[in-house]
Chain A
Amino acid sequence: MSKVKITKGTKYVVGVDAIESILTSLKEQNYKTIGPTIRDEVIIYDELDNISELPIGITDVHESGSYRLIERADKALFGYNVGPFSFKKYLFPPRLTILKTKRVDGKISIIRKDEHLDKLAFFGVKPCELQAILIQDKIFIDGEYVDNYYKKQRDALFIVTTNCTEAGSSCFCTSTDSGPEAKSGFDLAITEMIIDNDHSFLIEAGSKSGLKVLKELDIKKASADLINIEIQKLDSAKNNMGRKLNTTNLKDLLLENLNHPHWEDIAKRCTSCGNCTMVCPTCFCSNIEDVTSLDGVENERVRSWDSCFSMEYSYIHGGAVRASIKSRYRQWMTHKLASWQEQFDTLGCVGCGRCIVWCQVGIDITKETQTIQKQVTAQAEQLAEVEN
């Protein structure tokens, strides 16, 4: 137990062993702890028993359509950016039975039964991932109709954020205002500090539950020098983003250019595989299917992730509304960057770069946007010249 007076929003310093203690403390509070670990040569999120399962001394190298793990020079616990999975699957599961019914003698009734869900703690949530959760809150909790599963998991959720001191080559969270430092929405926020041979962590609590965990640790207040170094590290991440997205006036620009010829150009490369929607931490579209027992008595309505890149997605009588790949890519990108703003008053993109990395043909949302922006600006300038 620490003798320092511990308050919310103050930065403290701890050693590597404290990270293990946080994990243990969360387990003692009966949380199922989910965090990064290596599987099949990628960093994924899964249940963590101890910190030796973290991707220690490993980082990920990204490019359009490429992802590789390499060894770091140090033993950083959180020295990577983002893998193919986000935490989305825990709050909005890829498959979930949302209703059970049965039909006996022609009478159909709803089967109501309480389910038992694990209380979750997310460990090592990058700021862009945290922003994605806050965006999904708006969809599943803040609207007129609330998704019960999401809300129950979310209410009990404990979030340990890890700020990014290194930006990846497909990252652009400064453009989407979602990193490299988490501003709110976490229970604990950690910045990993490796200075020469000294390995420590700056830590702050963002909630009462976070404070409770913090109080159990052996901590001391961070020195002004150390906080300055943290600022420098975060600034360096800010200045080294591999990608950039100019979001000024982006909503109007895209929605006013739904017939821009560049959509055709993207469609020539896009295979409409839907990878971008599967790796995106904010994509929330779902399908609902009936799964019936062989005797036809019991039935489950199963909700599963869906993708606006499939033909079935827009199917109405007579055929798919979005039959061309052009219209499906346009739907996805304009939704992320433009219409999402009308629907939920926020961008639908957090700048994690997953859609760039996991696109099998390397389509880059930031570059495609830039192309449209440049062409529209050039056209407007030409027009202005003619008018003058």
Chain B
Amino acid sequence: MTLLSNNKQIETQITTSAFIPEMFVINRIRKETEDTFTIELAVEDGTTSFDFKPGQFNMLYVHGCGEVPISISGSPDRPDKLVHTIRMVGDVTRAIRRLKVGDMLGVRGPYGSYWPIDKSEGKDIVIVAGGIGLAPVRPIVYHILNNREKYKRISILYGTRTPSDIIYQKELESLRGRFDVDLYVTVDRADQKWMGNVGVVTTLIKNSNFDPTNTTAFLCGPEIMMRYTAVALQQQELAPENIFVSLERNMKCGVGLCGHCQYTGKIICKDGPVFNYDLVKDLINKREI
């Protein structure tokens, strides 16, 4: 409202700094399943590191195509490489798949809230993931394994549609071989070679051994899966305050300006994506919020 000067015009950069992506180079592309893949990115000159907290996401930008919000799925203790696991579901994610090693990808972030792993030290940890939902909780697994003595029992419960939809196969196999982590995998539909569990991920909860008075659970997957998992965990006497979920909505800006990711009063890109289940339990049971 103050009069800046008598100049007729305001000279300015229109671009909001928050909308300027940093350019990263693709160092590695790995196929996970038919429709998912993992990319490793590094800053062009290799000098900058990318710090983030488990559960946060980036806006990934393909020149001339668009931007998508994708959770970070690498290790928080390896800021030299930025890792994303992506499912091809739309134009932008398909365009990212078409890029090659050495191509550039724009990155804005990290944005949003994170899994409270520091506050969960000294506790049992239960991680429940469905499908591509394993990617946003993978940083927790890395962090916990790097700081194994700080946590008590660790259970990882993972469900996918079919055996061929299992991502991070090798890593899961090596986790299976550890005595200090309980990993259970289930599929909705088995094939002839599958020797494991069949059924929804909630059926694995009975396998997981945790002390409900001293446990934090991290849930990531389709909303309906998280809903039923939270119910099943509460049946095991785990209080809703000790359950955390990661929610997803359409996002255009990632910084709370575009309005798309509203979840009633919450704006998922800045108040989430990670929420305490107790704060969203009434909403998650309603349709089309």
Contacts and interface: CB of A to CB of B under 8 A. Distances in A.
A342 B265 contact: yes
Contacts of A313: 250, 260
* Chain A interface, DSSP helix/strand/loop, else mixed: mixed
A338 B63 CA distance: 38
Given A144-B256, A324-B288, A152 B20 contact: no
B3 A323 contact: no
B66 A290 contact: yes
B239 interface: no
Interface residues of A, number: 81
Contacts of B206: none
B12 A209 contact: no
A343 B286 contact: no
Interface in A220-259: 255, 258-259
Interface in B246-289: 248-250, 252-253, 255-260, 262, 264-267, 270, 286-289
Nearest to B7: A30
Contacts of A286: 252-253, 257-259
A116 B63 contact: no
Interface in B1-60: 1-4, 6-21, 23
* Chain B interface, DSSP helix/strand/loop, else mixed: loop
A273 interface: no
Contacts, number: 184
A288 interface: yes
A285 interface: yes
Contacts of B256: 143-145
Given A118-B8, A299-B64, A323-B288, A255 B104 contact: no
A299 B259 contact: no
B227 interface: no
A349 to B, nearest CB: 15
Given A155-B4, A258-B289, A296-B64, A316 B250 contact: yes
Contacts of A207: 1-2
A153 interface: yes
Given A292-B64, A317-B87, A149 B16 contact: yes
B106 interface: yes
A16 interface: no
B264 A106 contact: no
A161 to B, nearest CB: 12
A67 interface: no
A209 B104 contact: no
B8 A30 contact: yes
Contact of A29 (B3, B9, B89, B104): B3
Interface residues of B, number: 54
Contacts of A301: 19
Interface stretch (A43-51, A92-100, A173-181): A92-100
Given A103-B64, A316-B248, A316-B250, A153 B10 contact: yes
Interface in B58-117: 63-67, 87, 89-90, 102-104, 106
B20 A106 contact: no
B33 to A, nearest CB: 15
Contacts of B2: 155, 207-209
A152 B5 CA distance: 13
Contact of A106 (B90, B103, B265): B103
Q: Which 4 pairs from chain A and chain B are nearest by CB? A: A342-B265, A327-B288, A285-B259, A317-B89
Interface of A: 29-30, 32, 96-101, 103, 106-110, 112-119, 139-140, 143-149, 152-153, 155-159, 185, 187, 207-209, 212, 255, 258-259, 284-290, 292, 296, 299, 301, 306, 308, 313-318, 321-324, 326-327, 331, 334-335, 338-339, 341-343
29 contacts: A29-B6, A30-B8, A99-B19, A106-B104, A108-B104, A110-B20, A115-B11, A116-B9, A117-B14, A119-B9, A119-B10, A145-B256, A148-B13, A155-B2, A156-B10, A187-B1, A207-B2, A208-B2, A209-B3, A258-B286, A286-B253, A288-B66, A296-B64, A313-B260, A314-B260, A316-B249, A316-B250, A321-B249, A324-B288
